[in-house]
Chain A
Amino acid sequence: MPHFILDGKEIQFIQGQTIIEAAAKVGIDIPHFCWHPSLTVSGNCRVCLVEIEKMPKLAIACSTLASDGMVVNTNSVKALSARNAVMEFLLINHPLDCPICDEAGECKLQDYAFDHSVGESRFVENKVHKEKRVSLGTHVMFDGERCISCSRCIRFCDEIAGVNELTFINRGDKVTIDTFPGKELSNPYSLCVTDICPVGALTSKDFRFKSRVWDMSSTKTICSGCSRGCNVEMWVRNNEILRLTPRYNEEVNSYWMCDEGRLNTFKSVNADIRVNGPHIKRDGTLVKAGWDEVFALATSELKSYNKSEIAVLGSAFATCEENFVLAKFAKSVLGIKNIDFAKHEKPNSGDDILIRDDKSPNSFGAELAGIHPLKDGLNFQNIMRAIDEKKIKALYLVEDDLVSLDEDYKKILSKLELFIVHSSNFNSTTELADIVFPAATYAEKNGTWINFQGRIQKLLPAVMTVEMDRSLDGMAMSRLDKFGTEFDRWGKSKKMNARPIWKIITSLANALGTKYKYQTSEEIFDEMSKTIDLFKGLDYQRVGELGVKLNVTTLAKVKV
């Protein structure tokens, strides 16, 4: 393999790679603003200037091809002074409003200014002023003074979102970014420009001024918005989710995620209508009750029906582990055959970038974990019909708002004699329930989901329930979490009295006389890896941060 020398280190490369690419592949970060691994090279910021032996002038690492035997220096006197000069130039008209800038703390300009510039400006003239609050579209705000004209946002729209929505206008020190008059930045991935903008010029209207980035913890988890399962970072302060950002996984979502997933999936976790503690219906309204009381009631009620009168609905929003325990419970504890789950397909809502028609994150996993009708059992449609015909009298449903799927289900479900629901939020389905178990959301538990590609991916808890402790349970910690006390404002966080499905089912099984011993979601996974062929050899460690693709040829057969 050909190689070149970078700061004395031997770097192997593939013919056609640029210096910056080859370095990035082995984890060496050459300073850059305009270069982005997933976008075309534009070479306009010049901060990546390096000295190459035998070349008369400095060259930009982002567009110079690596060649065999090349000797590249990023830290020679010449290279360093060029970088300092570029930084000085970029900072001439920069407003330096870091104290009120959302990007501060994750800003490339700030980082490089710290690393590579002299710290003092020689510029005594007036700075050029530009618009500081330009709404480019529904979700994105633009600050002209902070922009360093790297064109990443323009290239993102052209090359990834496939719509040429942004352009440079004017020139020289008046140059700025804009849309065509009368048009907006409105592609479904528009907020990705806020991730790749190396400075605070493009910010999310939803997140603007919500928090300093270092005050939040970030947890590597998965978006719940559709069956793509984009890898994300979940940012939490004061036990409240403040934003999601995409996390790089070339196999799934590359560097991107859609606006819908970014903005509208996590708000239900923070919502005021969370189910906090178990609830029982008394005189037509749901009232709070204790766990033991509710377990006792559920047990005695479930016992009073024939097996053929009961149905269990798993969920494409619940984890594989939860669906697995639920299926096992339905089959061996309740001894029933009517098991299935509702699909959440929205035909033609997907695209060929990321967004999928299937609006649930784990329909593959639910099925694979055993949520499907047994021989002679009823499937979802038939279960609903049987409820309508009053043949099925008791329904056990987890994490699914059926009424939101179809208003008509309201009439059908109200015919039930016993309706037990696990739900994280009150909704038009829980209104009809006799017993509501408070469900921990996907942000409050461990577990796995399987995306449409058959890739198994791991969820990590980012938000505490009353039964969790951020530091004892190994959750991500921010500076505030580490050094705050309970007397601080951020110490008084809201915590829900909620449990993951597997935990509730475990207690219920025990109450019904079958010993389930699960202490963690991981133990259930280990059991699955012993009993489900496709999971053979897997454990949480191997699933890791980026997930593992299951053997899809077998998956096709599994589809029942």
Chain B
Amino acid sequence: MEFKFTTENIEKVNKEISKYPTKLPAVMGILYIAQEQNGWISMEVIKEISNILEVTEEEVFGVVTFYTMYHQKPMGKYHIQVCTNVSCMLRGGYEIWNSMKDKIGIGNLGVTEDQKFSLEEVECMGSCGTAPMLAINEDYYENLDKEKALQIIESLK
């Protein structure tokens, strides 16, 4: 399916490009704008961005696969990211991660059939002081334990 930025987002894209002396560095910001609009980075998104930036599809593809925050497939309405890196791990990160897997019934990078939840085990999200933590879409939930984490999931509609 062809991908085009909305008029509103085109403006954002141009602003992103104007920040740098060459076009290529804008690729990361623009990918993020695309992900907001499309939910994930499809091959069509990559093609469109490579057209806009006048770089090859291969270059954009390399960036997309390098960074984990770009989704290479459609994710759930609630994308849950659980940190299991050192600080969180020491304070029960794995317990939370495992309970999420059991509760929702999917594994790393899995998506539920109703497209409501998706799950991802992630590296440090910069919230070590309040470990363990998880993030749902853009929001952080900190100082967790297994019960609190489960409660949060229950409350999601």
Per-residue CB contact flags for chain B residues 38-52 toward chain A (1 = under 8 Å, else 0) read: 000001001000000
Q: Which of B46, B58, B66 contacts A166 (CB 8 A)?
A: B58
List, in ascending order, chain A residues with CB within 8 A of B59's CB: 164, 167
Most buried by B among A167, A171, A179: A167
Check B66 against A179 for contact (C-beta < 8 Å): no
B156 to chain A, nearest CB (A): 30
Check B43 against A169 for contact (C-beta < 8 Å): no
A181 proximal to B (CB < 8 A): yes
B2 to chain A, nearest CB (A): 15
A170 proximal to B (CB < 8 A): yes
Most buried by B among A164, A171, A180: A180
A165 proximal to B (CB < 8 A): yes
B65 proximal to A (CB < 8 A): yes
Check B43 against A171 for contact (C-beta < 8 Å): no
B62 proximal to A (CB < 8 A): yes
Q: Which of B43, B46, B58, B65 contacts A164 (CB 8 A)?
A: B58
Docked complex Cα distance between A180 and B56 (Å):
10
B91 to chain A, nearest CB (A): 24
Check A165 against B58 for contact (C-beta < 8 Å): yes
A388 to chain B, nearest CB (A): 53
List, in ascending order, chain A residues with CB within 8 A of B62's CB: 167-169
List, in ascending order, chain A residues with CB within 8 A of B56's CB: 164, 180
B142 proximal to A (CB < 8 A): no
A170 to chain B, nearest CB (A): 5
Interface residues of A in 178-205 (CB under 8 A from B): 178-183
List, in ascending order, chain B residues with CB within 8 A of A171's CB: 65-66
B57 to chain A, nearest CB (A): 5
Select from chain A the residue with minimum beta-carbon distance to B61: A180
Check B66 against A170 for contact (C-beta < 8 Å): yes
Select from chain A the residue with minimum beta-carbon distance to B50: A180
List, in ascending order, chain A residues with CB within 8 A of B58's CB: 164-167, 179-180
- Given A164-B56, A170-B66, A171-B66, decide whether A182 and B61 contact each other with a Cβ distance below 8 A: no
B109 to chain A, nearest CB (A): 13
List, in ascending order, chain A residues with CB within 8 A of B43's CB: 181-182
Docked complex Cα distance between A133 and B57 (Å):
24
Interface residues of B in 136-151 (CB under 8 A from A): none
List, in ascending order, chain B residues with CB within 8 A of A181's CB: 43, 61
B55 to chain A, nearest CB (A): 8
List, in ascending order, chain B residues with CB within 8 A of A183's CB: 57
List, in ascending order, chain B residues with CB within 8 A of A178's CB: 61
Select from chain A the residue with minimum beta-carbon distance to B123: A172
List, in ascending order, chain A residues with CB within 8 A of B61's CB: 167, 169, 178, 180-181
Select from chain A the residue with minimum beta-carbon distance to B56: A164
Select from chain B the residue with minimum beta-carbon distance to A157: B58
Check A180 against B65 for contact (C-beta < 8 Å): no
A132 to chain B, nearest CB (A): 20
List, in ascending order, chain B residues with CB within 8 A of A164's CB: 56, 58-59
Per-residue CB contact flags for chain A residues 146-182 toward chain B (1 = under 8 Å, else 0) read: 0000000000000000001111111100000011111
B142 to chain A, nearest CB (A): 26
Docked complex Cα distance between A350 and B122 (Å):
51
Docked complex Cα distance between A166 and B61 (Å):
10
Per-residue CB contact flags for chain A residues 192-234 toward chain B (1 = under 8 Å, else 0) read: 0000000000000000000000000000000000000000000
Interface residues of B in 40-93 (CB under 8 A from A): 43, 46, 56-59, 61-62, 65-66
Docked complex Cα distance between A165 and B66 (Å):
17
A171 to chain B, nearest CB (A): 5
List, in ascending order, chain A residues with CB within 8 A of B46's CB: 180
List, in ascending order, chain B residues with CB within 8 A of A167's CB: 58-59, 61-62
Select from chain B the residue with minimum beta-carbon distance to A171: B66
A495 to chain B, nearest CB (A): 48
Check B65 against A170 for contact (C-beta < 8 Å): yes
A464 to chain B, nearest CB (A): 46
Select from chain A the residue with minimum beta-carbon distance to B65: A169
Docked complex Cα distance between A167 and B56 (Å):
10
Docked complex Cα distance between A169 and B56 (Å):
14
List, in ascending order, chain B residues with CB within 8 A of A168's CB: 62, 66
Docked complex Cα distance between A179 and B57 (Å):
10
A77 to chain B, nearest CB (A): 34
Select from chain B the residue with minimum beta-carbon distance to A179: B58
B11 to chain A, nearest CB (A): 28
B53 to chain A, nearest CB (A): 13
A522 to chain B, nearest CB (A): 51
Docked complex Cα distance between A164 and B59 (Å):
8
List, in ascending order, chain B residues with CB within 8 A of A166's CB: 58
A131 to chain B, nearest CB (A): 14
Most buried by A among B43, B61, B62: B62
Docked complex Cα distance between A127 and B61 (Å):
26
List, in ascending order, chain A residues with CB within 8 A of B57's CB: 180, 183
Could you list 26 examples of A-B contacts with CB < 8 Å? A164-B56, A164-B58, A164-B59, A165-B58, A166-B58, A167-B58, A167-B59, A167-B61, A167-B62, A168-B62, A168-B66, A169-B61, A169-B66, A170-B65, A170-B66, A171-B65, A171-B66, A178-B61, A179-B58, A180-B46, A180-B56, A180-B58, A180-B61, A181-B43, A182-B43, A183-B57
Residues of B near any A CB (own CB < 8 A): 43, 46, 56-59, 61-62, 65-66
7 closest residue pairs by CB, A with B: A169-B65, A164-B56, A167-B58, A167-B62, A180-B57, A171-B66, A164-B58
Residues of A near any B CB (own CB < 8 A): 164-171, 178-183
Given contacts A164-B58, A167-B58, A171-B65, 15 further A-B contacts (CB under 8 A): A167-B62, A168-B62, A169-B61, A169-B65, A169-B66, A170-B65, A170-B66, A171-B66, A178-B61, A179-B58, A180-B46, A180-B61, A181-B43, A182-B43, A183-B57
